[in-house]
Structure 1
Amino acid sequence: MPYWLMKSEPDEFSIHDLQRLGQARWDGVRNYQARNFLRSMLAGEQLFFYHSSCPEPGIAGIARIIAPAYADPTALDPHSHYFDSKASSEKNPWSAVDVAFVKAFSRVIPLAELKAQSALLELPLVHKGSRLSVMPVSAEQWAAILALSER
């Protein structure tokens, strides 16, 4: 079963927001490669919840996909920050998935610590200039990150 990493700015939506809600729609992805990853997700697959664009970016916990990809309604909402004037109800190029809270880590695993792990050298997150908000994580990388979360 594939694993994933998905980024969110904690000021907008954090692991603690997901914990409070229990489940939520993951929307607003406006990169075609990241969108294609969303479209390949299946219910039951797990993801690392990554806090980005904050004082200490890093992995904050785990969530689970509970519904496969569907048309992202924020693309059609003119009041949404993620509105896309080229999208229509007949042709919406953007996707969203539903996720559920699994676990918040006792600490955020900082990006610097992730970059220092030889087991994570191939993870796109640790590559300079990587800005992809949704990415696959191999089983080996998943296990290495889980081990870091238990330190």
Structure 2
Amino acid sequence: MRFWLMKSEPDEVSIDHLAALPQQTVAWFGVRNYQARNFMRDQMQLGDGVLFYHSSCAEPGIAGLAEVASAAYPDATQFDPASPYHDPQSDLQHPRWLNVDVKLVRKTRLLSLQEMRERPELADMRVLQRGNRLSITPVDPQHWQAVLTLLEGAA
């Protein structure tokens, strides 16, 4: 089992949106970075743990726990000219972009970016590294456990 941090802008898909969806599952669409796409394509497996992270908002941070609920498959938004994620260079025979389905495990208190930065046990977590802008990053098992401990300790 692997662990991931997946960023979503809450005005597009928040943890509350996910909780309200049928089967509490959403396609993780709109990823347009090759490294993040490759994580989904080559490394993610059913049941992998996900830290659901709200980004580009007033208070960014981990808002819940989820799991990978499908293998990677073509992201339909790349083919839709009306979508902000449309990619005219991609075609049905050779899709460039993929997504996986993500299923809610549970909403948590918000573990803010600021609080994460203050925790020495998370100091080398990828999402906290300077220059990191990836929407999907691997999470080391010790960071996963530290986040769970922080979430449980203040619940």
Q: TM-score range by the shorter chain?
A: over 0.9
Structure 2 residue 91 is the aligned partner of structure 1 residue 88: yes
Displacement, 1:7?
A: 0.1
Q: Quote the residue 2:100 is aligned against.
A: 97
Structure 2 residue 12 is the aligned partner of structure 1 residue 12: yes
Displacement, 1:81?
A: 1.0
Q: Quote the residue 1:141 is aligned against.
A: 143
Q: Secondary structure at the match of 1:63?
A: strand
Output the TM-score relative to the length of structure 2: 0.94
Q: Which amino acid aligns with 2:19?
A: Q
1:49-95 Cα distance to aligned partner (Å, 9 max, x none): 00000000000001111101011111111111100010001111111
Q: Secondary structure at the match of 1:146?
A: helix
Q: Quote the residue 2:36 is aligned against.
A: 34
Q: Which amino acid aligns with 1:102?
A: V
Displacement, 1:128?
A: 2.0
Q: Which amino acid aligns with 1:76?
A: F
Q: Write the distance in 2 (CA, Å) between the matches of 1:124 and 1:137.
A: 7
Q: How many residues align?
A: 150
Q: Quote the residue 1:47 is aligned against.
A: 50
Displacement, 1:24?
A: 1.1
Q: Quote the residue 2:122 is aligned against.
A: 120
Give 1:66's match in structure 2, choosing from 50, 69, 74. 69
Q: Which runs of 5+ in 1 are unaligned?
A: none
Q: Write the distance in 1 (CA, Å) between the matches of 2:147 and 2:102.
A: 20
Runs of 4+ in 1 over 3 A off after TM superposition: none
Q: Secondary structure at the match of 1:67?
A: coil
Q: Which runs of 5+ in 2 are unaligned?
A: none
Q: Write the distance in 2 (CA, Å) between the matches of 1:75 and 1:126.
A: 29
Q: Write the distance in 2 (CA, Å) between the matches of 1:69 and 1:101.
A: 17
Q: Which amino acid aligns with 2:37?
A: R
Q: Which amino acid aligns with 1:143?
A: Q
Q: Quote the residue 1:3 is aligned against.
A: 3
Q: Write the distance in 1 (CA, Å) between the matches of 2:45 and 2:96.
A: 19
Output the TM-score relative to the length of structure 1: 0.96
Displacement, 1:116?
A: 1.6
Q: Secondary structure at the match of 2:100?
A: strand
Q: Give the alignment's Cα RMSD to 1 decimal.
A: 0.9
Which structure's residues are more often strand, by fraction?
A: 1
